[in-house]
Structure formats: structure tokens, C-alpha cells
Amino acid sequence: MNRLTRATATIRRLRQVGPRGLAQRVAARAYRATDARDLTFHLDVADVARAVPATLATPEPVPGNRPLTVGWVTSPPAAGSGGHTTLFRMVEGLEARGHRCVVLLYDRHGLDVAQRTAELRAGWPGVRAEVRDAREGFAGLDAVVASSWESAHVMLAYDDTPTHRLYFIQDYEPYFYPRGSEYELAAMTYRFPFRRIALGDMVAGCLRSELGQDSDLVPFGCDTATYRLPEPAVPRSGVVLYAKPDVGRRGYLLAVLALERFHREHPDQPIHVYGSRPTDLPFPVTYHGRLTPDGLNALYGTAVAGLAMSFTNISLVAEEMLAAGVVPVVNDSPLARADLPNPYVAWAEPTAEGIAARLSSAVTHADVAGQAEKAAASVTGRSWELTQRQVARIVEDEVRGRSQG
């Protein structure tokens, strides 16, 4: 192909797809040429376990009632991360019982501990834990807790001392990937000889049915101190979406298709979006960016319904919406239903039509205010205290021995 032919083809393509489409194609070529996909794999290949160890050395039980020092291995926290928020609630629960905690952060590209410490303090001010780089080792810890499949590999790579090892599992993470390498690397971690703590029935059930693994089951909680009805009540209208386009299990594409249909049927109903900034939506939205929990509760207090899509474990968003008087519309799935037995959830067939129909039913309800009050009342008194207490007792039991736990 000569230069003139190439130039003619480029002009024709530009007319067909527009500048944005052309830019996407150029970016896609650069992505493939530079193997940029490697950036989405969050482990250094040298840190990936090559086998499932049959056993790992553990120390003698810690005698007496002295405070424990417990390490929690995780990725650097990002503001608004539900997984980090739940994990740090467990850290706070241990600290409230007089134990010392250490957050061990892993980033294959390097870590500025001072910067990450400042971010943790700003985002989760209740956490007092010391922050370390996981690559610098695990010395001085009575127990170490993995918080994701990647962190489980990190524990094997960097902790070669006799240690009490546990695994706080918030979702069945192989489901995050197509069947392939990452799926199996995630699944193998549930066979590591760690004590498994499953958050909710969905996780415990998948560990049993998929891998035949037992676990200690702890319940989901809900932050009803932050998420609650507005005082005084305000007129509600419209719907709200937490946008996570890059997280497939949160159903962003289906949500957008449903909202497009919903907008055609209810053009007077506002659509609010928070989280990642959406692009090229075929309907108008009000974008709120990344909100603090208090800011999010204020937004929920103005809305009738919200999309809480989840194709693995249920999102924390669903119950938080209920607490604020918002009807959560959730794709109907046995996995999502396992930990959300609430009559005010609007379970929807996972199609654009099915989801839009549930949103429509919520905004056309004869008593929107009464519906909001009933939704909030259905989770009154819920908290994370029981979960914190049970996780703390499991850690103590593992370190001190069952006779003293």
C-alpha cells in the first residue's frame, strides 16, 4: 500500500468513525505493541506461587492475653474502594480490642510508604495501623491476613517465617476473570494452608461447591450510622448509578442500556452518576464525581431508586441505598441473593428491559416517600460490629489456640 492509498484510507476511516474512534484505534495499536495489558496484572511474575504448599510452618500458640500484632496484606487503597473499606473495618475491630495492626501494602511498581500512609489516614481516619511495604518483610507479626488472591501470593513470596496465616475473603475472585491463567491463580490461593474467613454465604458456598474448602463464615454488615434517611425529608426524584466501567462484574454496559430505555420512558426523571466519569452516554446525566460517604448519603436522600449491579458477591451499595431510603435495583442472581434477603430490593431480570422496568416501577410508585421509609426501616440497627467481633475472635483463636481463643 503506497502513501497515497494509506492517506486515502485514513481519511475515509476518519469520516466513518470520527476523531475519537480513530484515536481509540491508534491507542489500541499502541496498547498491543507495548504489551500495556501487563499493567493490569498486579503481581510481579517472580512473586507468583508455583505450587500449593501442603503445609506451612506455624509458631507455638501465643500464651496469655497479651495484645497481638496482626498484619493485613493489601493493595494500595483507593478512595471509595468498598473492599478496602470493609477490610479496614476489620482492622479497626482488632484495634478496638487492644491489638496492634500493621497494613502491608504491595505494589509491583514500587511504593512511597509516606504518601500511601497519608492517603490511608485521609480516607480511613479511624485506622491507627502502621503502614509498611510488604516487600520489606513480615517480621514481628503474630499473624498475617491476606485480603485478595494477589495478596495471598505475596504472603507466600515474602513471609518465610513460622506465622499464623489467615485469609479474609470478600468475593470468589476467580469469577473476576475468564477461565484461564488468572482464574486458576486466584482459585489456587483458596487451597493454600491459610485459615479462611468467608464474608457472607455466597463466598462460603462457592468455596465449598467449587473447591470443597471449608471456611469460617462471618456476616455482611451495613453502615447505618452514615447511610440514613435525610432530616428533614426532601422530595425524591430520579435514579442514581455507581459507574465502574472497568469492573465487569458491576454490569456497567447493562446499566447504561437500561438507563437509555428508562430515559425514553421517563425523560422528566433525573439520572445521577457517581464514581468514574461516563463518556458518550445517549442520555443526559448529572455527574457527581467521587463522593465521600456523607456526600453519597446526601445524594441518595434525593433519589428514588439506584442501580446496584453485581454478578458475583453482592455490592455493599445495595444495603447502603436501602438505609438511605433508595430502592436498589439489582440483577437477579443466586450469587447476589445469597446475602441480601430483603423484601425491598427490586430484583430485575438481567436485561436492559428488565432493569428499566424495575426502575420505572420505583419512580412511579404511588407513595414514594412511604416506600423510602419502609426501605430504610428494613435495615434499621444493622452495623459491622458483629462482623468485626467475629473476625477478631477468629484471629485470636488462630493465634492463641482454640483452648484460649
Structure confidence at residue 20 (pLDDT): 65
* Beta strands across the sheet bearing 130-133: 130-133, 100-105, 69-74, 143-146, 164-169, 195-199, 216-218
Structure confidence at residue 81 (pLDDT): 84
- The pLDDT confidence band at residue 404, using thresholds 50, 70 and 90, is very low
Nine-digit cell at 360? 420505572
Tell me the pLDDT tens digit for each residue of 351-363. Answer: 999 999 999 999 9
Give which of 337, 310, 313, 308 is closest to 323, Cα–Cα. 308
Q: Which residues contact 349 (CB under 8 A, 6 or more apart)?
A: 331, 332, 355
Nine-digit cell at 255? 446499566
Check whether 255 has a pLDDT greater than 90. Answer: yes
Check whether 38 has a pLDDT greater than 80. Answer: no
- The pLDDT confidence band at residue 348, using thresholds 50, 70 and 90, is very high
pTM value is 0.91
Work out the mean pLDDT of the chain and round it to a whole number: 92
Give which of 186, 171, 149, 143 is closest to 394, Cα–Cα. 143
334/331 Cα distance (integer angstroms): 10
Q: Which domains does the chain have, with CATH numbers?
A: 46-221+385-400 (3.40.50.11090), 239-377 (3.40.50.2000)
Structure confidence at residue 10 (pLDDT): 65
Structure confidence at residue 308 (pLDDT): 95
Structure confidence at residue 36 (pLDDT): 44
Whole-angstrom CA distances from 62 to 140, 169, 401 are 13, 24, 8
Check whether 234 has a pLDDT greater than 70. Answer: yes
End-to-end, the C-alpha distance of the chain in Å comes to 75
Q: Are 376 and 324 in contact (CB under 8 A)?
A: yes
Tell me the pLDDT tens digit for each residue of 296-345. Answer: 999 999 999 999 999 999 999 999 999 999 999 999 999 999 999 999 99
Nine-digit cell at 238? 430520579
Largest CA distance in the chain: 82
Quick one: CA dihedral 154, 157, 159, 164, positive or negative?
positive
The torsion defined by the Cα of 272, 275, 279 and 284, in degrees rounded to 10, comes to 0
Structure confidence at residue 76 (pLDDT): 94
283/261 Cα distance (integer angstroms): 9
Nine-digit cell at 333? 442472581
Q: Which residues contact 1 (CB under 8 A, 6 or more apart)?
A: 9
More confident residue, 205 or 8: 205
Tell me the pLDDT tens digit for each residue of 136-191. Answer: 989 999 999 999 999 999 999 999 899 999 999 999 999 999 999 999 999 999 99
| Geometric angle at alpha carbon 54, from 52 and 59, rounded to 5° | 115
Q: Which residues contact 115 (CB under 8 A, 6 or more apart)?
A: none
33/19 Cα distance (integer angstroms): 21
Q: Are 146 and 152 in contact (CB under 8 A)?
A: yes
State percent of the chain over pLDDT 70: 89
Phi and psi of 50, rounded to 5°? -90, -15
338/334 Cα distance (integer angstroms): 6
Residues in the chain: 405
Give which of 350, 380, 359 is closest to 240, Cα–Cα. 359
Check whether 72 has a pLDDT greater than 90. Answer: yes
State percent of the chain over pLDDT 90: 84
Q: Are 256 and 278 in contact (CB under 8 A)?
A: yes
Q: Which residues contact 65 (CB under 8 A, 6 or more apart)?
A: none
More confident residue, 9 or 251: 251
373/230 Cα distance (integer angstroms): 10
Give which of 310, 336, 305, 337 is closest to 322, Cα–Cα. 305
Average pLDDT over residues 266-285: 95
Find the range with the poorest average confidence among 39-53, 164-178, 266-280: 39-53
Can you tell me whether residue 368 is helix, strand or coil?
helix
Check whether 132 has a pLDDT greater than 50. Answer: yes
